[in-house]
């Protein structure tokens, strides 16, 4: 391994922002343009909308009752109170989905269910809770104003309105609104196919016999999970020894797909061949090598004939943060989306933390809800090889241009997991 200063000397560190800018501006849309495919709603969640989606109908599609009760003329309820109820005639009832021809005139009402079409003439719904039925009559104990508990046609969504825009990462709620407009198929981008392989002669597959000096391979599984989380399909190309020809051959296979993630061998050590090989295989080669972040500084970003390649360092936490920053941004760019949603919150740090000056530090934290305000307990700011520091944290604080965080300082946390709630009042 060569020293950090040697690394800096050879490449100079880019800031994360510079690296992102250099990398993303080199992404050639014409080389990675995703086809549009049509999927049914069952398969639409977590896909990216490829066309603006307009509603073909008004929502609600007709004027309807928003409560169970009686469709009335509001003015007939004037003066009604518990002591002085108004007595009105019930001329029928309408349930949801029923077509009727009732017309509500003065002193007449129609029983109505939530969601049922409002009868002609009626301008309000009197909630059943404030009435008392007496055969064909009903006692009304409260006034109601015109328009109350009536949902107007198109008040939710207007016919022709763009309900969701191109680039939208479809959530369950989105799928719900698409279904509500009567549409059962949507145009989405084809999922990019991301080839991934790990380099390292010491690596063996989990489940196999672990020989002397061997390390179980974990980055590929972890990053594959992130790839699918950010909307792409994984093409798993396995483990490759630290051998130039073997890596070249594997990279050649990988370059058939939309983008490539290579784990390990990205630094400047004797067996770190990946950046050189990227340069040898095509233009423009490596565009960024060495990033002012910790962990993750030996990350390399490049292109071979227009295909993006992210070479993440082998240390698992480095691999995670490098993919979190660059892999996620690449997939968002390819898929023309901002999604999927990411939770962030402000929390107070519970201890002083030393940061890596001149670099962005990826501090792993445990966020807890302390009676309604969030605390972030530092787990580790270093330890690129310590995967447990990542697995045991539920948040990450990304912070640059500082040498330390003071105890009690407010920081923004990217949530990586759920928060154990400490509910007010102690109920749990
Ligand atoms: P490298 O970046 O290739 O120099 O790898 C640094 C260290 O990270 C190696 O010594 C391995 O112990 C570990 N490592 C590399 N690749 C992986 C991997 N795919 N899974 C788990 N650990 C790895
Ligand atoms: Mg290695």
Q: What is the pLDDT confidence band of residue 416, given thresholds at 50, 70 and 90?
A: very high
238-285 pLDDT per residue, tens: 999 999 999 999 999 999 999 999 999 999 999 999 999 999 999 999
Query: Do the Cβ atoms of 76 and 106 come closer than 8 Å?
Result: yes
Q: Mean per-residue pLDDT for 390-405? A: 93
Q: Is the pLDDT of residue 1 over 50?
A: no
In the prediction, which pLDDT does 427 show?
38
33 vs 37, more confident: 37
165-200 pLDDT per residue, tens: 999 999 999 999 999 999 999 999 999 999 999 999
In the prediction, which pLDDT does 30 show?
81
Q: What is the pLDDT confidence band of residue 12, given thresholds at 50, 70 and 90?
A: confident
Alpha-carbon span 224 to 196, nearest angstrom? 8
How deeply is 193 buried, as exposed, middle or buried, from its count of CB atoms within 10 A (0-12, 13-18, 19+)? middle
Percent over 70 (pLDDT), the chain = 96
330-365 pLDDT per residue, tens: 999 999 999 899 999 999 999 999 998 899 999 999
How deeply is 296 buried, as exposed, middle or buried, from its count of CB atoms within 10 A (0-12, 13-18, 19+)? buried
Q: What is the pLDDT confidence band of residue 10, given thresholds at 50, 70 and 90?
A: low
Tokens of 89: 């005639």
Q: Is the pLDDT of residue 428 over 80?
A: no
Tokens of 263: 């784990």
For a ligand 1 pocket test, name from 200, 203, 268, 272 the mutation site with the most ligand atoms within 8 angstroms of its C-beta: 200
Alpha-carbon span 129 to 343, nearest angstrom? 41
Query: Do the Cβ atoms of 403 and 357 come closer than 8 Å?
Result: yes
Q: What is the pLDDT confidence band of residue 421, given thresholds at 50, 70 and 90?
A: low
Percent over 90 (pLDDT), the chain = 87
Question: What is the Å distance from ligand 1's center to 343 Cα?
Answer: 29
Question: What is the Å distance from ligand 2's center to 210 Cα?
Answer: 17
The full length of the chain comes to: 428
Question: What is the Å distance from ligand 1's center to 322 Cα?
Answer: 14
What is the spatial order of strands in the sheet that 233-240 belongs to? 233-240, 193-199, 259-263, 307-312, 300-304, 284-289
Question: What is the Å distance from ligand 2's center to 313 Cα?
Answer: 8
Tokens of 319: 């691999």
Q: What is the pLDDT confidence band of residue 11, given thresholds at 50, 70 and 90?
A: low
Query: Do the Cβ atoms of 60 and 155 come closer than 8 Å?
Result: yes
Q: Which atom of ligand 1 is nearest to the CA of 313?
A: 2
In the prediction, which pLDDT does 9 show?
47
In the prediction, which pLDDT does 424 show?
47
In the prediction, which pLDDT does 396 show?
97
How deeply is 1 buried, as exposed, middle or buried, from its count of CB atoms within 10 A (0-12, 13-18, 19+)? exposed
Ligand with smallest separation from the Cα of 243 = 2
For a ligand 1 pocket test, name from 264, 270, 311, 387 the mutation site with the most ligand atoms within 8 angstroms of its C-beta: 264
Q: Which residue minimizes the CA distance to atom 14 of ligand 1?
A: 314
Question: What is the Å distance from ligand 2's center to 170 Cα?
Answer: 38
For residue 170, what are the contacts with CB-CB under 8 A and spacing of at least 6? Answer: 44, 45, 46, 47, 48, 49, 164, 178, 186, 188
Query: Do the Cβ atoms of 178 and 188 come closer than 8 Å?
Result: no
Q: Mean per-residue pLDDT for 282-311? A: 96
pTM: 0.91
Q: Mean per-residue pLDDT for 301-324? A: 97
Q: Which residues pair with 361 in a beta bridge?
A: 294, 399
Q: Any residues with Cβ below 6 Å from ligand 1, and which? A: 198, 200, 203, 215, 217-220, 263-267, 269, 313-316
pLDDT, mean over the chain:
94
Helices (H), 104-146: none
Q: Is the pLDDT of residue 39 over 50?
A: yes
Q: Is the pLDDT of residue 4 over 80?
A: no
Tell me the CA distances in angstroms from 414 to 213, 378, 410, one per residue in order. Answer: 35, 13, 13
Nearest to 23 by CA among 361, 306, 255: 306
Looking at 6-10, 279-283, 403-407, which range is the least confident one? 6-10
107-155 pLDDT per residue, tens: 999 999 999 999 999 999 999 999 999 999 999 999 999 999 999 999 9
Place of tokens 């090989």: 277
Question: What is the Å distance from ligand 2's center to 202 Cα?
Answer: 8
Looking at 5-19, 131-145, 370-384, which range is the least confident one? 5-19
In the prediction, which pLDDT does 422 show?
56
């Amino acid at each position: 391994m060569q020293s950090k200063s040697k690394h800096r000397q050879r490449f100079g560190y880019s800031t994360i922002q510079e690296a992102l800018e250099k990398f993303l501006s080199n992404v050639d849309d014409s080389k990675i343009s995703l086809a549009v495919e049509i999927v049914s709603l069952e398969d639409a969640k977590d896909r990216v909308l490829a066309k603006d989606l307009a509603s073909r109908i008004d929502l609600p599609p007709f004027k309807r009752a928003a409560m169970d009760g009686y469709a009335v003329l509001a003015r007939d309820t004037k003066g009604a109170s518990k002591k002085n109820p108004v007595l009105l005639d019930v001329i029928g009832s309408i349930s949801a989905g029923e077509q009727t021809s009732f017309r509500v005139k003065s002193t007449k009402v129609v029983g109505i269910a939530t969601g049922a079409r409002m009868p002609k003439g009626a301008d309000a719904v009197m909630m059943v809770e404030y009435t008392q039925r007496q055969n064909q009559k009903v006692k009304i104990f409260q006034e109601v104003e015109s328009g109350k508990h009536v949902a107007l046609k198109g008040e939710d969504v207007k016919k022709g309105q763009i309900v969701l825009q191109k680039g939208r990462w479809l959530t369950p709620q989105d799928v719900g609104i698409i279904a509500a407009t009567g549409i059962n198929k949507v145009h989405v981008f084809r999922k990019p196919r991301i080839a991934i392989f790990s380099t390292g002669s010491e690596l063996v597959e989990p489940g196999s016999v672990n020989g002397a000096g061997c390390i179980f391979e974990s980055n590929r599984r972890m990053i594959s999970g992130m790839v699918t989380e950010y909307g792409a399909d994984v093409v798993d190309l396995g483990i490759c020894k630290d051998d130039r020809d073997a890596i070249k051959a594997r990279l050649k296979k990988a370059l058939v797909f939309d983008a490539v993630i290579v784990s390990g061998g990205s630094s400047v050590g004797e067996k770190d061949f990946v950046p050189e090989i990227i340069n040898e295989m095509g233009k423009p080669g490596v565009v960024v090598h060495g990033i002012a972040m910790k962990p993750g500084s030996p990350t390399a970003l490049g292109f071979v004939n227009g295909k993006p390649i992210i070479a993440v360092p082998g240390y698992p936490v480095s691999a995670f943060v490098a993919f979190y920053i660059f892999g996620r941004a690449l997939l968002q760019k390819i898929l023309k989306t901002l999604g999927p949603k990411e939770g962030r919150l402000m929390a107070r740090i519970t201890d002083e933390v030393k940061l890596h000056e001149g670099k962005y530090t990826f501090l792993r934290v445990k966020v807890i809800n302390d009676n309604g305000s969030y605390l972030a307990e530092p787990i580790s700011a270093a330890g690129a090889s310590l995967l447990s520091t990542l697995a045991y944290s539920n948040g990450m604080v990304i912070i640059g241009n500082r040498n330390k965080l003071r105890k009690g300082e407010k920081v923004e946390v990217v949530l990586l997991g759920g928060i154990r709630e400490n509910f007010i009042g102690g109920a749990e």
